[in-house]
Homo-oligomer: A and B are copies of this chain.
């Protein structure tokens, strides 16, 4: 097992990683930007190294600074958390070269999953259902036209190395295809250095379902069931739950089996999340694989009892999956997570500033993951996540009720937050019935 791990992240996930290390008796080294001097991850780590200025490029994305800190502090592993360098194959390679264990999949797998077209092909070959679309990148507008005709409109063009909507185009009318292709190419080229595009059938307001997996270094992978993440605003998740609505144990078991086999064959190791869209005939289609721990991982931890970050550490240290997750995992109860963001609930603009008072909710069935405290500042440089509140119930109705109570009893002052929006979601009939898709928020706000 590792002696010391460097936490290459900040905020609530840095605390989550420190907690998992402490549970295993592993020493921790925090890195921080000058803006994060007074943050809790700096306080709770055994050691803390300032690595640069406030901007992420100067600090949490500053590979030389982080590697130097790792060498100065003499750690044997680095946990990247989520965001920042979490899925950076180049960073993972440098760690390897420096003899530091990167806690995540191998650089090869990261590179494959970073290339959306390759990931798609790999998934298809491994027997995971994918949307009808192009096999590889599409070079010419002719190729695009043929592919689109085969797939059927509407279609969506996506950048091979894309993310966050850039280089993306939805095309409903064949006549618009040509222009859309060239625009998307330019956009992708500018944003990601590569103009390569691929094409898929476009599903209108799908549901977003994702599966949590864990794999060891020896080719065994377990799938721990799904999360329902369809409550999104502009591709930003606001609320997640597990299990998914109207999903069923039988189907879960089947998917778990498919994914374990498929990812085993790819040689996937450590934690990952397989994202699917679900169309209105309830078919699941692979979208991408997030090769990291997710923000919403706690809902899976709560219903399965498996500590995912602890598992990441053990698997990265070479433990076999059998020892990390022994026996079959079954879900019990229901969990809902709300991401409390510092934002204006009307305009949805980030609301940076000083938190003048913070008294998170607690009590029966409530878990809180947060790095906030009275006097803490939400900086404009980083994401606006203030706290994750997870409510557990023996059933979904109880989980909803407890979440309402928890949000109602959350004291958060000095900044505006997403709480009013989330309280509203919890009152929506469609949500209460568990019948919603990614169009939910727009319909609610319409």
A384 at the interface (CB under 8 A from B): no
Which chain A residues numbered 164 to 182 have a C-beta less than 8 Å away from chain B?
Answer: none
Given contacts A360-B360, A411-B43, contact A19 B367 (CB under 8 A): no
A409 at the interface (CB under 8 A from B): yes
Q: Are B363 and A375 in contact (CB under 8 A)?
A: no
Q: Are B18 and A411 in contact (CB under 8 A)?
A: no
Given contacts A43-B411, A357-B375, contact A405 B369 (CB under 8 A): no
Binds B, one of A58-66, A187-195, A301-309: A301-309
What sequence of 0s and 1s flags, for each residue 6-42 of chain A, a beta carbon within 8 Å of any chain B beta carbon? 0000000001101110110000000000000000100
Within 8 Å by CB of A19, from B43, B357, B363, lies: B363
A430 at the interface (CB under 8 A from B): no
Bound Cα distance from A411 to B42, whole angstroms: 13
Instruction: Give every chain B residue within 8 A of A40 (Cβ-Cβ).
Output: 359, 411
A249 at the interface (CB under 8 A from B): no
Within 8 Å by CB of A373, from B369, B374, B394, lies: B374
Bound Cα distance from A44 to B359, whole angstroms: 11
Instruction: Give every chain B residue within 8 A of A374 (Cβ-Cβ).
Output: 357-358, 373-375
Instruction: Give every chain B residue within 8 A of A357 (Cβ-Cβ).
Output: 373-375
Instruction: Give every chain B residue within 8 A of A19 (Cβ-Cβ).
Output: 361, 363-364, 405, 409
Bound Cα distance from A409 to B405, whole angstroms: 25
Q: Are A15 and B363 in contact (CB under 8 A)?
A: yes
Instruction: Give every chain B residue within 8 A of A369 (Cβ-Cβ).
Output: 362-363
Q: Are B373 and A23 in contact (CB under 8 A)?
A: no
**Which residue of B is nearest A404, CB measured?**
B22
**Which residue of B is nearest A374, CB measured?**
B374
Within 8 Å by CB of A367, from B20, B309, B363, B409, lies: B363
**Which residue of B is nearest A309, CB measured?**
B364
What sequence of 0s and 1s flags, for each residue 279-322 of chain A, a beta carbon within 8 Å of any chain B beta carbon? 00000000000000000001001000101011000000000000
A255 at the interface (CB under 8 A from B): no
Which chain A residues numbered 348 to 407 have a C-beta less than 8 Å away from chain B?
Answer: 357-370, 372-375, 394, 398, 401-402, 404-405
Which chain A residues numbered 397 to 437 have a C-beta less than 8 Å away from chain B?
Answer: 398, 401-402, 404-405, 408-409, 411
Nearest-neighbour CB distance to chain B for A340, whole angstroms, equals 13
Nearest-neighbour CB distance to chain B for A295, whole angstroms, equals 14
Q: Are A301 and B362 in contact (CB under 8 A)?
A: no
Instruction: Give every chain B residue within 8 A of A370 (Cβ-Cβ).
Output: 362
Instruction: Give every chain B residue within 8 A of A364 (Cβ-Cβ).
Output: 16, 19-20, 23, 298, 301, 307, 309-310, 367
What sequence of 0s and 1s flags, for each residue 324-341 of chain A, a beta carbon within 8 Å of any chain B beta carbon? 000000000100000000
Instruction: Give every chain B residue within 8 A of A375 (Cβ-Cβ).
Output: 357, 374
Instruction: Give every chain B residue within 8 A of A365 (Cβ-Cβ).
Output: 307
Residue with the greatest number of chain B CB neighbours at <10 A, chosen from A23, A305, A333, A402: A23
Bound Cα distance from A411 to B372, whole angstroms: 11
Nearest-neighbour CB distance to chain B for A297, whole angstroms, equals 10
Within 8 Å by CB of A18, from B23, B307, B367, B409, lies: B409
Q: Are A362 and B373 in contact (CB under 8 A)?
A: no
Q: Are B409 and A22 in contact (CB under 8 A)?
A: yes
Instruction: Give every chain B residue within 8 A of A307 (Cβ-Cβ).
Output: 364-365
Q: Are A23 and B368 in contact (CB under 8 A)?
A: no
Instruction: Give every chain B residue within 8 A of A404 (Cβ-Cβ).
Output: 22
Q: List 13 additional contacts besides A22-B404, A363-B369; criterion CB under 8 Å.
A: A19-B363, A19-B409, A22-B405, A23-B405, A307-B365, A310-B364, A357-B375, A360-B360, A362-B368, A362-B370, A368-B368, A373-B374, A374-B375
What are 22 pairs between A and B in contact, CB < 8 Å?
Answer: A15-B362, A16-B363, A18-B409, A20-B364, A22-B404, A23-B364, A23-B398, A23-B401, A40-B359, A40-B411, A43-B411, A298-B364, A305-B394, A307-B364, A307-B365, A360-B360, A360-B362, A362-B367, A363-B369, A364-B367, A368-B368, A373-B374
